[in-house]
A and B are shown apart, each in its own frame.
Chain A
Amino acid sequence: MTVLRVYTDLVGESARRGELPAAEHLAALSRELALMESLVGVPRPAGAAAPAPAPAAAAGRPDLVAILSTLVESYRAAHASRIRLDFVAEEPEIPVSAEPVALQRAFRNVLDNAVKYTPAGGQVRVRASVVSQHAFVVISDTGAGMSPDEQKLAFAPAWRSPSAVASGIPGRGIGLGVTKELLEQNGGKISLLSEPGHGLEVTIMFPLGREGRT
């Protein structure tokens, strides 16, 4: 809500100065509203690009398909000129028992990193599926990938000692530890698969919503 409030303020200030609102502020407002709609199950206007909200969202079981679709759409709008972003959902909806805001933060963290570390002309793919009563989300990129040593450190708690920080030793600082914590607090699991030079594949797994698929 705070993000919505901030961009509403900025658009209002533009209007008071007699100026058109900045396109990026309107885009951010639209993105946040779409995300909120996907979280709370508000029907979208006809013609909107994202799919209709899942009934599961209204029942307190956020739909991974709706959340990921909205997120990928917003990242695509921002980065389409540089990289390709694809989203494939193998089910029309995938409800899970998880806190929706934590979900979108976790997915944003992973997508941020995938986009950040994918060079121009590369690709980020998001695939959501259901296997044996579990939801799987695989986010893969064509970036530099991670060495086995980096993968071991990737989930270390988001903490570096002041001496390590002061030493200036570079790290990816990609916050996968934070993402892991957010996911595990919500019953999810995360794992990595990568070879240096061949991109990174992040797999996130959740048990399906308690009432199963609708």
Chain B
Amino acid sequence: MTPRVFVVDDDPAMVEAVMAVLVHDGFEVDGASDAAEALRIVLRNPPDLVVLDVNMPGLTGWEICDILRRQPRTAGLPVLFLTGRGEVADRITAMQVGGTDHLTKPFRAEDLRARARVLTGRSATKGVR
């Protein structure tokens, strides 16, 4: 079954870029640039992985992750934080709210793809395309 990934970033261009990396690697990808809309979609129909920006106006990625962890259907959902924040304190916060992995912008397409494969339980034996 094709793993489904949902991308959340307040910059629509970033959502498209992440989708472009993953869609050709066998993932089914969707996304949103509105944090509240994204949370509603993910809670209603949990994907296999959420790629989540941290610094968004209105509702931060940390808050979204914290909410997901409190809901039975999304408590164990893998969350990959994708953010410009690379400080140790930020990485700790990401772990405290239940983030599964953390990738700092600017990132490499190969790095994102490899993490998405691991977090969705896909082997990396196909190699990087």
Question: Is there a chain B Cβ closer than 8 Å to A122's Cβ?
Answer: no
Q: In the complex, which of the residues A2, A10, A24, A171 has the most CB atoms of chain B within 10 Å of its own CB atom?
A: A2
Which residue of chain A is the closest to B109 with respect to CB atoms? A9
A104 to chain B, nearest CB (A): 9
Q: Is the CB of A173 within 8 A of B14?
A: no
Q: Is the CB of B18 within 8 A of A157?
A: no
Question: Is there a chain A Cβ closer than 8 Å to B36's Cβ?
Answer: yes
Q: Is the CB of B56 within 8 A of A173?
A: no
List the one stretch of A41-49, A125-133, A161-169 in contact with chain B: A161-169
Q: Is the CB of B108 within 8 A of A9?
A: yes
Question: On chain B, which size bracket covers the interface?
Answer: 35 or more
Q: Is the CB of A159 within 8 A of B59?
A: yes
A112 to chain B, nearest CB (A): 6
Question: Is there a chain A Cβ closer than 8 Å to B122's Cβ?
Answer: no
Which residue of chain B is the closest to A169 with respect to CB atoms? B40
Known: A13-B109, A17-B129. A158 touches B40 (CB 8 A): no
Question: Is there a chain B Cβ closer than 8 Å to A99's Cβ?
Answer: no
Residues of A within 8 A of B39 (CB): 160, 165
Residues of B within 8 A of A173 (CB): 32, 34, 36-37, 40
Q: Is the CB of A108 within 8 A of B13?
A: yes
Total cross-chain contacts (CB, 8 A): 108
A5 to B105, CA, bound (A): 10
Question: Is there a chain B Cβ closer than 8 Å to A181's Cβ?
Answer: yes
Q: Is the CB of B108 within 8 A of A5?
A: yes
Question: Is there a chain A Cβ closer than 8 Å to B20's Cβ?
Answer: yes
Residues of A within 8 A of B10 (CB): 105, 175, 178
Residues of A within 8 A of B37 (CB): 171, 173-175
Which residue of chain B is the closest to A31 with respect to CB atoms? B13
Residues of B within 8 A of A178 (CB): 10, 34-35, 56-58
Q: A65-105: which residues lie under 8 A (CB-CB) from chain B?
A: 105
Q: Is the CB of B34 within 8 A of A175?
A: yes
Residues of A within 8 A of B59 (CB): 158-159
Residues of A within 8 A of B56 (CB): 178
Which residue of chain B is the closest to A19 with respect to CB atoms? B129
Question: Is there a chain B Cβ closer than 8 Å to A37's Cβ?
Answer: no
Q: In the complex, which of the residues A6, A13, A165 has the most CB atoms of chain B within 10 Å of its own CB atom?
A: A6
Residues of A within 8 A of B120 (CB): none
Question: Is there a chain B Cβ closer than 8 Å to A25's Cβ?
Answer: yes
Contacting residue for B58 out of A22, A28, A168, A181, CB 8 A:
A181
Known: A1-B106, A7-B20, A10-B109. A159 touches B71 (CB 8 A): no
Residues of B within 8 A of A160 (CB): 36, 39-40
Known: A6-B20, A9-B109, A25-B20. A109 touches B58 (CB 8 A): no
Q: With A109-B12, A159-B59, A171-B40 given, can you name 20 additional A-B contacts, CB distance below 8 Å? A: A3-B13, A3-B17, A5-B107, A5-B108, A6-B17, A6-B18, A9-B109, A10-B20, A10-B21, A13-B129, A28-B16, A112-B12, A158-B34, A159-B58, A162-B70, A165-B39, A165-B40, A173-B34, A175-B34, A178-B57
